[in-house]
Amino acid sequence: MTTGTVAKPINTEGLVRTVTTRLVNNQRVRRKLPLGGRIHIDRQLPFICVYRFLGSEPDPAIMRLATSEASYLVASGIRSQRNSVDALLRASAGTLSDIFGGFLIVEISEGEFTDLSDPAKGDTIPCAFRVVASRDPKLDQLVEEFEQELGRIIVRNRRSIILTTRGKRVNPRGLAELPTDVQGNGSDADRPLVVGVEINPIHRNPETREIYPDVLRVLERQLTRAMRRVFHTFALRHTSHCPRHYHGLGRRAVVKAVWEVDRKLDRVGANFDFIFQVTPINPEKVWRKFSRQGCTKPPVFKYRPLTFDISLLKRELYSIPLERLEDPALFRLFAEKQTELDRMMTMLSDMGTSRFVHGSLQLYGDLQSSQIEMALRILESLPHHSRDESRGGYTRVDEFSRLARRELDNYGRLVPEMVNKFEVRNDVTGLMVSRGVLLIGSEMQIPSSRAQALLQHEIGTHMVTFYNGKAQPFQQLRAGLSGYEPLQEGLAVFAEYLVGGLSRPRLRLLAARVVASKLMVDGATFMDTFNELAREHGFARRTAFMIAMRIYRGGGLTKDASYLKGLTDLLGFLKNGGKIDSLFVGKIAAEHVGVIDELRWRGVLRPPPLRPRYLDMEGATQRLEIASKGVTPAELLSVRI
């Protein structure tokens, strides 16, 4: 702020009284302060993060780092505001210090840019922090905690450098010292401890001051985690507060912008069902013609016309104000979903062109050599012909519908909305779930031995995670977080195994989808892939046709390769001690498990209302224990209960 600029004064007495009363009653505090300042205290917590600025407004980068915490004060550090800000901090710290018997103030600031790169290690400038504290022996252990946790931060593949300064002054240059003579009932021994964290601004161009958004996001996410760990250790050692997990010190309340972003993303996604849109509407008719022609002429598929304007919907998508989110965990989830929706719409505009398959690889990831090798081993080791599925005959569609109704009724006792959520359709091949409704192909053949497995695949997994996600405050968990398909399909196939319905033909089918995807990506035509599946790998012509149809739909879709990958990843998750119950909160990706766990610890997410019934079915517990010891997908077939 330039000299002589006057900010509107704070009604200090009234604000202090309001803040103190709300903190005593464990109510959230959120108030605007002059010149763009703000105080936010999520609930009774034994710490606060402070950022004071001297310009005409807060620096947006440092403000983002400060406001990621559950308790923060962003305020002007100019002389005219000093007394009001100090009074507010004294009241807040004093009230909470009385409650917990201790309190920690961490002031973050931006230091002078310093190039600490080591030419021997490359030209990437490492992140660096300076921890500033007085020589008070009570701070020794706390300073070590800061050094350790900040030292874990890795930005641009470089571990952080930590510098420490112990002396009389803790405050940043140009600012007065923060008050520790708090307004409370405690003794001098209970005065708040103050630690400064000075950040070397590698998140901006040192000459132009332009921010590097990607670097800032990585720094924000990791700094939040590091600070939370320090706060957790401080709380356990120096206060009466006993949080069970450091994530439990994150914010529970979210800003209004979160609901706006979630609602708008959901509204954009509700305009289309991507898989439904890229799935042919005439597969049975085309198969009959293909078969009559001796399986020698490439088929021609028809698709549903788009009911929206892609350019207008993309404009709506990118008008969503993600920058207003203060929570780095939620920002990550929503930003990834925004990108995924953009890619899906681009693929819909590219249907029928060579660009479609490139979009598919962006959306679902490259085919890994380990996946392809495993798929080939499965096809080579399992017999071409098996009676695993034909034994026991077939279940008619009307009978399967009755079984589906009964299964939905079981869940309907907890979520009444699920009752009768199924349709028999003549424009669907097989089974699929679309927006919480089970769609049953009118001409599908259902082996009786597989009926229970298919019910648990579609209803017990896809529908359960849909309605669990719908019960959450964020509807993205219902629609599906970015990249959720591999884990979702892996869980669904694993459900088949848990109820004893994972057959050799089924596993060969999943392997064939991987091999067919590889052939398609490498340039093979529909007929090339069909012939290889039928002649080289022994699939019936109709089965080979349906596999190829799913792979070549839209112009080349690699989604089906995710079934085997998802199952493999899930088995690895269980082997490493992961708990399967944590995967049903909604439609999530494997890489989101940590973020979801964080949000659950923070109380942002609710306990899911539904638990898949197949987890409690006969033999499921024993099969789960066996799978958790570390097996491959093929080895699941040897499990006998």
The reply to whether 295 and 154 lie within a common domain is no
Question: Within its chain, how far is the Cα of 224 from the centroid?
Answer: 17
The reply to whether 195 and 301 lie within a common domain is no
Whether 608 is covered by a domain: the verdict is: yes
* Rounded mean pLDDT, 18-39: 94
State the pLDDT at residue 173. Answer: 86
Evaluate whether 407 touches 433 at the Cβ level (below 8 Å): no
**DSSP assignment of 286-345:** HHHHHHHTTS-S------PPP-S-HHHHHHHHTTS-GGG---HHHHHHHHHHHHHHHHHH
Sequence-separated (6 or more) residues with CB below 8 Å from residue 189? none
The reply to whether 221 and 297 lie within a common domain is no
Residue 39 has pLDDT above 70, yes or no: yes
Length reported for the chain: 641
CA pseudo-torsion sign 582, 583, 587, 591: positive
State the pLDDT at residue 119. Answer: 62
The reply to whether 64 and 179 lie within a common domain is yes
Q: Residue 333 is which amino acid?
A: L
Whether 427 is covered by a domain: the verdict is: yes
Picking from 523, 442, 426, 40, the residue whose alpha carbon sits closest to that of residue 253 is 40
Whether 340 is covered by a domain: the verdict is: no
Half-sphere exposure in the Cβ direction for 557 (13 Å, CA) = 24
State the pLDDT at residue 393. Answer: 85
The reply to whether 523 and 402 lie within a common domain is yes
Residue 566 has pLDDT above 90, yes or no: yes
- Per-residue model confidence as pLDDT tens digits over 325-343: 889 999 999 999 999 999 9
Q: What is the DSSP code (8-state) at residue 368? A: P
The reply to whether 195 and 297 lie within a common domain is no
The reply to whether 493 and 618 lie within a common domain is yes
pLDDT-derived band at 510, boundaries 50, 70, 90: very high
**DSSP assignment of 4-69:** T--PPPP-HHHHHHHHHHHHHTT--EEEEEGGGEEEEE-SS-SEEEEEEE-SSS--HHHHHHHHTS
The reply to whether 214 and 299 lie within a common domain is no
Whether 49 is covered by a domain: the verdict is: yes
Picking from 60, 76, 80, the residue whose alpha carbon sits closest to that of residue 68 is 60
State the pLDDT at residue 140. Answer: 94
The residue from 251, 284, 316 where one domain ends is 251
Range of the domain at 174: 12-251
The reply to whether 371 and 517 lie within a common domain is yes
For tokens 């979801």, the residue is 596
pLDDT-derived band at 8, boundaries 50, 70, 90: low
Whether 173 is covered by a domain: the verdict is: yes
State the pLDDT at residue 123. Answer: 64
Residue 2 has pLDDT above 70, yes or no: no
Is 543 strand, coil or helix? Answer: helix
- Per-residue model confidence as pLDDT tens digits over 474-489: 999 999 999 999 999 9
Average pLDDT over the chain, rounded to whole? Answer: 92
Whether 38 is covered by a domain: the verdict is: yes
State the pLDDT at residue 115. Answer: 74
Q: What angle do CA 419, 449, 397 make, to 5 degrees?
A: 50
Picking from 321, 637, 359, the residue whose alpha carbon sits closest to that of residue 501 is 637
CA pseudo-torsion sign 471, 314, 336, 303: positive
Q: Please give the share of the chain, as a percent, with pLDDT higher than 70.
A: 95
- Per-residue model confidence as pLDDT tens digits over 114-125: 777 766 666 667
State the pLDDT at residue 1. Answer: 40
Q: Which long-range contacts (CB under 8 A, 24 or more apart) does 18-24 make?
A: 19/88, 19/91, 19/92, 19/95, 20/91, 20/92, 20/95, 23/92, 23/95, 23/96, 23/99, 24/95
For tokens 């803790």, the residue is 170
How many domains, the chain?
Answer: 2
pLDDT-derived band at 243, boundaries 50, 70, 90: very high
> Angle 328-349/256-269 helices, nearest 10 degrees?
20
Residue 422's H or E segment, with its range, is strand 422-425
Q: What angle do CA 336, 518, 571 make, to 5 degrees?
A: 60
Count CB-CB contacts under 10 A for residue 288: 10
The reply to whether 302 and 240 lie within a common domain is no
CA pseudo-torsion sign 363, 368, 372, 374: negative
pLDDT-derived band at 6, boundaries 50, 70, 90: low
The reply to whether 468 and 573 lie within a common domain is yes
Sequence-separated (6 or more) residues with CB below 8 Å from residue 13? none
- Per-residue model confidence as pLDDT tens digits over 388-447: 665 668 899 999 999 999 999 999 999 999 999 999 998 887 898 988 999 999 888 888
* Rounded mean pLDDT, 512-537: 97
Residue 640 has pLDDT above 80, yes or no: no
CATH code, 100: 3.40.630
Of residues 243 and 190, which shows the higher confidence score? 243
* Rounded mean pLDDT, 144-152: 96
Is 166 strand, coil or helix? Answer: strand
State the pLDDT at residue 568. Answer: 95
- Per-residue model confidence as pLDDT tens digits over 224-239: 999 999 999 999 999 9
Residue 462 has pLDDT above 80, yes or no: yes
Whether 345 is covered by a domain: the verdict is: no
Picking from 106, 22, 10, 34, the residue whose alpha carbon sits closest to that of residue 65 is 106
The reply to whether 218 and 286 lie within a common domain is no
Whether 326 is covered by a domain: the verdict is: no
State the pLDDT at residue 4. Answer: 47
Evaluate whether 105 touches 69 at the Cβ level (below 8 Å): no
Question: Within its chain, how far is the Cα of 431 from the centroid?
Answer: 27
State the pLDDT at residue 3. Answer: 44
Q: Residue 465 is which amino acid?
A: T
- Per-residue model confidence as pLDDT tens digits over 272-288: 999 989 999 998 899 99
Q: Please give the share of the chain, as a percent, with pLDDT higher than 90.
A: 80
- Per-residue model confidence as pLDDT tens digits over 98-115: 999 999 999 999 988 777
